[in-house]
Amino acid sequence: MDFKLTDEQVMLKETARKFAETEIKPLIPAMEEKKRTPKELIRKMKELCFYAIQYPEQYQGVGSTYLEYVIMMEEVSRVYCSIGGHISVNNLCAGTINDFGTDEQKKKHLPDLIMGDAIGSFAFTEPSTGSDPGAIRTTAVRQGDYWVINGEKIFITNSTIPGYIVLFCKDVEIGGKITNIIVPKNSTGYSTPKLVEKMGMNGMEVADVVLEDVKVPFENTTGGEKGRGRGYEILTTEISVGKLGISAQCVGMAQAALEESIKYAKERVQRGKPINSFQTIQWHLGEMSADVQAARLMVYWTAFNRSQKKNILFDSARTRLFASQACHRTVSSAMQIHGAFGYTKEFIVERIFRDMKLAEIYEGVNEIQRVIAASEFLR
Ligand SMILES: Cc1cc2nc3c(=O)[nH]c(=O)nc-3n(C[C@H](O)[C@H](O)[C@H](O)COP(=O)(O)OP(=O)(O)OC[C@H]3O[C@@H](n4cnc5c(N)ncnc54)[C@H](O)[C@@H]3O)c2cc1C
């Protein structure tokens, strides 16, 4: 067992850290205010192949593994998790096509998604469901060589940015089983009436999506004719990978909270000495560092297994559960260490505190992660 990162992985980590510090950080105030992911930033991330790391070279991917992906994801999220979320959801879309698409679909759509020329979304959630796949209502009706899609999706990340959306629908012709369909976001009848007003993750664009008689070619059925009715399998497989991305985001946010706390505890003076001399603060820092380290190792373990093409359903549920809780504890301790200042917009722990909560909710609430993790032993 070798825990040492390769020279290439170290280089990638340094490149991603430098990029995040120099190119993402200056844009944070504008992203927090406008609640948009800047096009210019997407262009720069495309140049560095941040959307392409784990994809095959034949589709213009870098051909690296999920380990490299989580290393980049941690560094980006250490500076601004919204951008980690934006990349992660693009991967839900590209990953769906890479894992389940036909050869023609891969050739047609993957290079654009991987190169960042089209931005991907993954649309499952509806007003009546986020956790129950059986309850979705969006319908896809086959009419000759086309699908006609009607319904509403809510909380869809990147849905306002041009590209493709992989959409989960009830396939009426086969008794309402779930089928996934690749829908260009410029299709007639596709609209995103308004951005969702969130408490955090402001640089990640999230909107509700309305689908009114959206007509797309039948050949856009993910996986072709054989893919019909496989929506649940696609959902669970791709969300497992998505949760790996979220876990890496948690490590990045927790690492940032730890670094900010160490800095602050050295500078803040109470009773004539820096607060890091108090044992209470040392206990916080000790626990925080243990949480960050453990979460990172779990993320690397699950990324390694995914790169070995193993089923990560259970590992990714455990990793997401632990990493999001570890992040919550760490960021909460960071705010405690910062005292009243941590509660103000002057210090970045206030933003991280708002951003980190989402990790316990999206792509499956933690209650469900516990059930998935336990189900490995209860089958
Ligand atoms: C910022 C943001 C971005 C998002 N991006 C996307 C996206 O790109 N695509 C997409 O499809 N969705 C997206 N979502 C939606 C998100 O994935 C869902 O909101 C999430 O899965 C939870 O679903 P829900 O809100 O319907 O919660 P519910 O299912 O209503 O659950 C509410 C609570 O009930 C309990 N509960 C529910 N079911 C169970 C169960 N089976 N066992 C035990 N307890 C349970 C839990 O305590 C849970 O917290 C996003 C959401 C947000 C906030």
* Residues in contact with 114: Cβ distance below 8 Å, sequence separation at least 6, in sequence order: 51, 52, 55, 59, 60, 61, 94
Over residues 88-97, the mean pLDDT reads 98
Catalytic residues: 363
Query: What tens digit of pLDDT does each residue of 243-279 get?
Result: 999 999 999 999 999 999 999 999 999 999 999 999 9
CA distances from 196 to 19, 118, 201, 204 (A): 28, 22, 11, 10
Domains of the chain: 7-119 (1.10.540.10), 121-229 (2.40.110.10), 233-378 (1.20.140.10)
pLDDT of residue 363: 94
Confidence band, pLDDT 50/70/90 cuts, at residue 174 = very high
Which of 52-66, 125-139, 199-213 has the weakest average pLDDT? 125-139
Outline where DSSP puts E strands in 250-318: 269-270, 273-274
| Ligand 1 centroid to residue 331 C-alpha, Å | 22
- Determine the Cα–Cα distance for residues 124 and 152; give it in Å rounded to an integer: 10
Neighbours of 144 (CB within 10 A): 6
| Ligand 1 centroid to residue 47 C-alpha, Å | 33
Over residues 330-356, the mean pLDDT reads 97
Does residue 206 line the site of ligand 1, with CB under 6 A?
A: yes
- At residue 246, the 3 state secondary structure works out as helix
Over residues 235-243, the mean pLDDT reads 96
- Determine the Cα–Cα distance for residues 168 and 146; give it in Å rounded to an integer: 16
pLDDT of 208 over the 90 cut = yes
pLDDT of residue 355: 98
Encoded tokens for 169: 């629908």
Which of 130-144, 162-176, 286-300, 344-358 has the weakest average pLDDT? 130-144
Does residue 168 line the site of ligand 1, with CB under 6 A?
A: no
Task: State the DSSP code for 187.
Answer: S
Does residue 16 line the site of ligand 1, with CB under 6 A?
A: no
Over residues 337-364, the mean pLDDT reads 97
Counting ligand 1 atoms within 8 A of each CB, the residue from 132, 365, 366 with the most, and so the one to mutate, is 365
Whether 167 contacts 175, CB under 8 Å: no
- Determine the Cα–Cα distance for residues 301 and 356; give it in Å rounded to an integer: 22
pLDDT of residue 134: 83
Over residues 81-104, the mean pLDDT reads 98
Query: What tens digit of pLDDT does each residue of 97-149 get?
Result: 999 999 999 999 999 999 999 999 999 999 988 888 889 999 999 999 999 99
Over residues 189-213, the mean pLDDT reads 97
pLDDT of residue 210: 98
pLDDT of 52 over the 90 cut = yes
Encoded tokens for 233: 């399998």
Helices 313-342 and 231-267 cross at an angle (nearest 10°) of: 30
Does residue 122 line the site of ligand 1, with CB under 6 A?
A: yes
Atom 36, ligand 1: residue with shortest CA distance: 367
pLDDT of 379 over the 90 cut = no
User: What average pLDDT does the chain have?
Assistant: 97
| Ligand 1 centroid to residue 188 C-alpha, Å | 28
Tokens 């998935």 found at: 372
Question: What atom of ligand 1 comes closest to residue 371's alpha carbon?
Answer: 42
pLDDT of residue 62: 96
Encoded tokens for 74: 């941690």
| Ligand 1 centroid to residue 180 C-alpha, Å | 19
Question: In 3D, which of 233, 226, 219 has the Cα closest to residue 106?
Answer: 219
